[in-house]
């Protein structure tokens, strides 16, 4: 009795095998450009808190499943990571995101930075830097418009190797940001050595920002730490006007969240950018 929606962690071996088989088919279908199966990217706007401008988007993967419809990443990223399929899937995400960012520019829309989530196994894979370089070359996207979002826990798995790889990417012109900041445990002294340009405050600290003094203290501390290290600070999961007001008053630089927009299709982003271009 296969339960597709069973949480991966509790899934039986058999359920995992079915999911894995489905994932392999989805990788194949993605490369073949099938309509009824495969991965898709949605894009969530990132907005400057001071000016209100959409300056970037984060690519977020979905699996268009032939029977189950749109499957969110929590249902399959874990197994993709465990099985190693994440390397192929992640490579596709980087390529597709670069292609899309370039297509918007070719359509005459204002340039936006494209952020892509990178998982641990994908980051550690030996050819990551070459793969990113190839994606940039093939799409003719300026490296400055690509940002990779990595987590502290990913970096801390092998600190020295991670920092070396981040430096290689930075040397290519690609920027790096720390995702889910505050939920992992990198020491403050290691943070100083990361060649990053942005910290992202995790949405777990944002959801109760309006009335939880602890979350307020954490958000303020991250903003001030980030600024002292010359980093931009973005808050994710901003859903209410009160949260936005708090972040603005406390000089957070940027926000992302349902208050401005949920993750949407490329064509919806295009419409938002067109609206700006007309202003």
Return the CA Rg of the chain: 19
SS3 for 65? Answer: strand
CA distance 196 to 115: 13
Q: Of 14-22, 167-175, 216-224, 235-243, which part binds ligand C2E (CB under 6 A)?
A: 235-243
When asked if residue 60 is in the footprint of ligand C2E (CB under 6 A), the reply is yes
When asked if residue 44 is in the footprint of ligand C2E (CB under 6 A), the reply is yes
When asked if residue 132 is in the footprint of ligand C2E (CB under 6 A), the reply is no
Bridge partners of residue 176, in order along the sequence: 148
Taking CB under 5 A as the criterion, the residue among 81, 152, 202, 215 binding Ca ion is 202
| Nearest to 122, CA basis, from 89, 146, 145 | 89
Bridge partners of residue 255, in order along the sequence: 47, 235
When asked if residue 151 is in the footprint of Ca ion (CB under 5 A), the reply is no
Interface size with Ca ion, residues (CB under 5 A): 7
Q: How far apart are the first and last CA of the chain?
A: 55
Nearest distance from residue 183's CB to ligand C2E, in Å?
9
Taking CB under 6 A as the criterion, the residue among 19, 27, 29, 61 binding ligand C2E is 61
When asked if residue 180 is in the footprint of Ca ion (CB under 5 A), the reply is yes
CA distance 146 to 144: 6
CA distance 178 to 132: 18
Q: Of 20-28, 58-66, 161-169, 247-255, which part binds ligand C2E (CB under 6 A)?
A: 58-66
Which residues contact ligand C2E (rule: CB under 6 A)?
44, 59-61, 72-74, 77, 90, 93, 117-119, 179-180, 203, 236-239, 257-258, 263
């Amino acid at each position: 009795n296969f339960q597709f929606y069973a949480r991966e962690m509790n899934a039986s071996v058999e359920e995992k095998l079915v999911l894995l088989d489905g994932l392999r088919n989805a990788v194949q279908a993605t490369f073949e450009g099938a309509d009824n199966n495969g991965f898709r990217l949605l894009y969530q706007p990132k907005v400057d808190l001071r000016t209100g401008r959409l300056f970037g988007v984060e690519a977020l993967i979905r699996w268009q499943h032939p029977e189950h419809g749109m499957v969110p990443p929590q249902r399959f990223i874990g197994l993709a990571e465990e099985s190693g399929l994440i390397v192929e899937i992640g490579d596709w995400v980087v390529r597709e995101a670069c292609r899309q960012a370039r297509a918007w520019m070719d359509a005459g829309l204002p340039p936006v930075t494209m952020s892509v989530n990178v998982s641990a196994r994908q980051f550690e894979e030996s050819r990551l830097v070459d793969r990113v370089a190839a994606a940039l070359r093939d799409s003719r996207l300026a490296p400055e418009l690509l940002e990779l979002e990595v987590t502290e826990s990913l970096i801390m798995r092998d600190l020295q190797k991670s920092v070396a790889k981040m430096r290689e990417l930075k040397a290519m012109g690609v920027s790096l940001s720390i995702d889910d900041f505050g939920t992992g445990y990198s020491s403050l002294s290691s943070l100083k050595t990361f060649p990053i340009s942005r910290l992202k405050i995790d949405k777990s600290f944002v959801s109760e920002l309006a009335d939880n003094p602890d979350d307020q203290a954490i958000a303020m501390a991250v903003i001030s730490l980030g600024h002292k290290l010359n980093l931009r600070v973005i808050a994710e999961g901003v859903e209410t006007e009160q949260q936005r007001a708090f972040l603005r008053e406390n000089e957070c630089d940027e926000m992302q969240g349902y208050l401005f927009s949920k993750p949407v299709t490329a064509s919806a982003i295009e419409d938002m950018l067109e609206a700006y271009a007309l202003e």
